[in-house]
């Protein structure tokens, strides 16, 4: 039977490992710096003369696309390289608990990084009267995008012992889901298969995230994100089972 206690034990172990090394500080500093530059400079935050965080949310999926694989590349690749995966999986612990625990730790870490952008939200409220409900929805959507990318990255980390390869694989797969609905992509696919172009639009993450940034929380989008995460975590478990003896 799946044990929440065992899963949380893995989560605490992994979360502590982030903050026990410079990884946490480096990631958070880079994340905040990138978001700051992109939002206030490239996003023309002040020139727009609007009290909202639209520039912030327009860039955040792309920042996550670059940084999330850097978090996940070590999740399983490092365990396999050091040979500690056998020890982890021989503990009184289900494989699914280990997979879920590692994922939740990485997701919690991303949530901390997102929470530290609160000065952006405060700045908007100081400068004007934004719709804070819309901003809150945008943050929820950003957290779901992070979770989706993390689930892909965790699965890719289980494929190989090499962290660089795990990073590249995660980046490539996440990029596909990020751009799948862009007209340039769908128009190109539609030339050979209109049905495939329709499928690309349906699996795209970008359009669903945009709904959150508009303050719209639709059940189908929530189901999409949790189904997406569930699928990749299941695949993660299958890959670990298949390769744990390597």
Domain that holds residue 227: 4-243
Closest of 117, 123, 112, 114 to residue 50, by C-alpha: 123
**For the chain, how many structural domains are there in total?**
1
Helix-, strand-, coil-residue percentages of the chain, each rounded to 5 = 80, 0, 20
Taking the C-alpha atoms of residue 148 and residue 153, their distance in angstroms, rounded to an integer, is 9
- Residue 217 to residue 221: CA distance in whole angstroms: 7
Chunked into runs of 10 residues, the chain (246 residues) has average pLDDT values of 80 86 86 91 80 90 92 78 60 79 93 94 89 94 96 91 90 91 77 78 87 92 95 91 66
State pTM to two decimals.
Answer: 0.90
CA distance 91 to 89: 5
What pLDDT is stored for residue 225 in this prediction? 96
Which among 61, 38, 218 is positioned nearest to 147, based on CA atoms?
Answer: 61
d(CA 129, CA 198): 39
Q: What pLDDT is stored for residue 47 in this prediction?
A: 78
């Amino acid at each position: 039977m799946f044990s929440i206690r065992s899963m949380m034990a893995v989560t605490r172990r992994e979360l502590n490992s982030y903050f026990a090394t410079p990884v946490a500080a480096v990631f958070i500093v880079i994340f905040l710096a990138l978001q700051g530059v992109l939002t206030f400079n490239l996003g023309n935050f002040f020139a727009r003369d609007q009290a909202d965080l639209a520039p912030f949310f327009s860039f955040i999926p792309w920042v996550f696309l670059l940084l999330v694989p850097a978090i996940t590349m070590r999740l399983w690749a490092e365990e396999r390289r050091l040979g500690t995966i056998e020890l982890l999986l021989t503990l009184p612990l289900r494989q699914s608990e280990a997979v879920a625990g590692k994922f939740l730790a990485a997701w919690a870490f991303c949530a901390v990084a997102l929470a530290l952008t609160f000065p952006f939200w405060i700045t908007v409220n100081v400068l004007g009267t934004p719709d804070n409900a819309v901003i809150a929805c945008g943050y929820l959507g950003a957290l779901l995008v992070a979770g989706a990318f993390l689930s892909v990255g965790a699965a890719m980390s289980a494929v190989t012992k090499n962290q660089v390869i795990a990073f590249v694989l995660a980046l490539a797969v996440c990029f596909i889901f990020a751009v799948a609905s862009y007209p340039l992509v769908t128009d190109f696919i539609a030339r050979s298969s209109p049905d495939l172009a329709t499928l690309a639009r349906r699996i795209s993450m970008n359009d669903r995230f945009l709904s959150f940034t508009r303050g719209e929380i639709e059940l189908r989008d929530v189901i999409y994100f949790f189904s997406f995460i569930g699928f990749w975590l299941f695949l993660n478990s299958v890959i670990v089972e298949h390769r744990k003896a390597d």
